[in-house]
Structure formats: structure tokens, C-alpha cells
Structure 1
Amino acid sequence: MLPKSKMILGFIVLGLYACSGKFVDIAKSTTYFTLCVEFAVFQYNEAQPDEFAYKLLWVRRSQQKIFSWTYLMDLEMGRTICKKHDEDINNCHLQEGPGKNTVSCTFVVNIIPIPVHFTLLNSTCLQIKIEEDSAFTQGTDFFYYED
């Protein structure tokens, strides 16, 4: 009886852990994660009043919520010389000088694989821009600190 009790208790503890909704690290090359990254960058560009596009520079964090299709990502993006509706933003050069901007963003994206549907659940961005004056401004669902 005692071994069965330990086994049942183990399953209960494992089940509680699995259902906790905790995010765990995943490979940055995971198919659905890379699709969610592209979606997040696209959503960021669409929400910006800026005519220039931002492109992905690197992924700082890649996580998935246990037993779900929800992904958490920390992305670094840079402002390009291309307009945001140009075809191949990934091959655009970054802006230099006064137009140079780097943005650090955290996104939470949910994906329904079949049919493919994305939902941006949360986004927070910190934009570092080279200017003489510092200011804090708020945009559409994105927050910036200009420094």
C-alpha cells in the first residue's frame, strides 16, 4: 500500500508542476517559435508611426509555456533604412547616425497551429535612441525610454 501511495503522490506533484503554466527554455530554432518571432516583429512594425522598419538583431530569450502554444521572447531589433512595407526587411542595412535606434522588446505570443492563427498577448519595449534630451513616451501597446 505504501509504494502505491508514493506513486500516486508523485503523479499529483508532477501534475501540479506540469499544469503550473511555467515557461521553460526552448531552442531558438523551434519551428513555431521562429514563426512567432516573425509575427512579433511584424506587429511591432505595424504599431509604429515610424515609416522605417525594424528588423530582428538577436533573440535574448526563447521560452514556451508548458503544455501550450504560448511563447515568451526577448528580442533586440534595429531600425533599418527600409520602409516598413518593403519586401525584404531582413536584408536592409541598419540606420547610422541620428536615425540609429535599437529596441529591446518582450513579447508573449500564442499560436493555434491548425489553421495557423497568432495572437499577441503582451508586449513591452524599451527603445534606446541617441538624442541630447531624455524623454519617456508611450506608444500603442509599446513603451519606450528614449535615451
Structure 2
Amino acid sequence: MFQQVTLLLGLMVLGTQVWSIRYEFIDISKNLNYFVMSVEFAVFQYNEDNKDEYAYKLLRVRQSQRKRFSWMFLMDLEMGRTICKKHEEDIENCPLQEGQGEKKVRCTFLVDAIPMVTKFTLLNSTCIDK
């Protein structure tokens, strides 16, 4: 009886450890191809969902992580408000607003990628003004 209880407890502890390892996020290179594409998607989606008429562009990637055994990316981004409208071409080369119009945001995005079909889904986003 004692051996069965010990075995059961051991399996429960092992199962918990495997589960927590499987679902944790790990740091990755900011230059990883699918991460870069996920960042571009997140910034695009932010601009689409934001009510501001001006586009925001990426200023800095503060954190880059991937969920272990998946293509789910967690990113902490800093973005700035540009002088360009949302749907203008080449927002990356658009200057930032200065003075009263200057605005920066810091956002955390969770993006799920399906690389084989180049599909991205924004699972969660949280942004704060800086």
C-alpha cells in the first residue's frame, strides 16, 4: 500500500513538472524570422484596432519569448506615434511626432503563428501610455 501511494505521488509530481516545463515561455533572439513577422503583425493589428488616426511604429523590442514546443510568441514592445496616417505606405520610415502630438506606448502582445500558411492570430494585448 505504501509503495502504491509513493508511486502515485511520484507520478503526480513528475506530471506537474512536465506540464510546467511544457507551457513555459523561453527567451529567444529578436531576429528569429517568425518572431520578426509576429512583431510586424502585432504592430499592424495595434494600428488597425487603435482609434487614433495616426500610425504607430516599433521603437524597441523589450522582450522576446516563445512558448516552448510551439510558435506562440510573447513580446514586450515600445511604439511611437508617427506623423503618418494609419494606411499610408512606408510607416517604418515615417518620422515620430514631436511636441504636443508626441506619444509612446508600451504593449505586451501574445501572438500565435502558423508558419506553414503564414497565419497569425493576436491572442492578447495590453498597452499603457508612456
Aligned residues: 117
- The one-letter amino acid paired with 2:44 is F
**Residue aligning to 2:68:** 66
Identical-pair percentage = 61
TM-score (normalizing by structure 2): 0.85
Q: What stretches of structure 2 of length at least 5 have no aligned partner? A: 1-10
8 Å Cα contact 2:66-2:72 kept in structure 1: yes
What is the RMSD computed on CA atoms of the aligned residues?
1.7
AA of the residue aligned to 1:59: V
Q: Distance in 2 between matches of 1:45 and 1:17?
A: 36
The one-letter code of the counterpart of 2:22 is S
Residue 133 of structure 1 corresponds to which residue in structure 2? none
The residue number in structure 2 matching 1:57 is: 59
Q: Distance in 2 between matches of 1:41 and 1:78?
A: 11
Out of 10, 19, 22, the residue aligned to residue 20 of structure 1 is 22
Instruction: Deviation per CA, 1:32-87: give whole Å up to 9, x if none.
Output: 00000000000000001111000000000000000001000000000000011011
Q: Deviations over 1:19-41 (max 9, x none)?
A: 53100000000000000000000
Q: 1:82 corresponds to which residue?
A: 84
Q: Which residue of 2 aligns with 1:123?
A: 125
Q: TM-score, normalised by structure 1?
A: 0.75
Q: List runs of 5+ in structure 1 lacking aligned partners.
A: 1-8, 129-147
More helix by share: 2
